[in-house]
Amino acid sequence: VKTFFNPHPYGVHALDIAPKMQYLVTLSAPMPGNDLAANTQAGAGEQGKTAELSKTQANNQEDCQSISVWDWPSDNTGPICTAVVGTQDVQTCVLFNAWDTHEIGTNGKRRG
């Protein structure tokens, strides 16, 4: 059994384990109160506000979702890699490519 304490500032939203169980990937939970997903449904007059909000939040990486890759059998306590997810939508799922574990995908409501 292995426990990762506080892997992301707001918790983990989703995770996947690579087919050979070498790696674990985690998707961070969005910032509490982050209404980006709701704002993407706004009318045309609201699109400018949504774009401005997205730019402001993109400037603060802690407010953005991120993915981290962990070496599962290793004794290391931190991830081997972390990257910010570059989209306005809240991502809900993360998966390793079953044929190439160097590829990771996430999904949201729409393509940004």
pLDDT tier for residue 71 given thresholds of 50, 70 and 90: very high
Question: Per DSSP, which regions of the chain are E strands?
Answer: 12-17, 23-28, 66-71, 81-84, 93-96, 104-107
State how far the Cα of 26 lies from the Cα of 70, in Å rounded to an integer: 8
**Domain limits for position 77:** 12-107
Q: Is residue 5, in this structure, part of any structural domain at all? A: no
The DSSP string of 13-60 is EEEEE-TTSSEEEEEEPPPTT--HHHHTT--GGGHHHHHHHHHHHHHS
Residue 40 in tokens: 């993407």
Q: Measuring CA to CA, which residue among 3, 64, 79 is closest to residue 30?
A: 64
What tens digit of pLDDT does each residue of 21-51 get? Answer: 899 999 999 888 754 444 444 444 444 444 4
pLDDT > 90: what percent of the chain?
39
What mean pLDDT is predicted for residues 75-90? 88
The per-residue pLDDT for 37 is: 43
pLDDT tier for residue 68 given thresholds of 50, 70 and 90: very high
Number of structural domains found in the chain: 1
The per-residue pLDDT for 60 is: 52
Q: Is residue 99, in this structure, part of any structural domain at all? A: yes
Q: Is residue 1, in this structure, part of any structural domain at all? A: no
Q: Report if pTM > 0.95.
A: no
Q: Is residue 3, in this structure, part of any structural domain at all? A: no
Q: Is residue 98, in this structure, part of any structural domain at all? A: yes
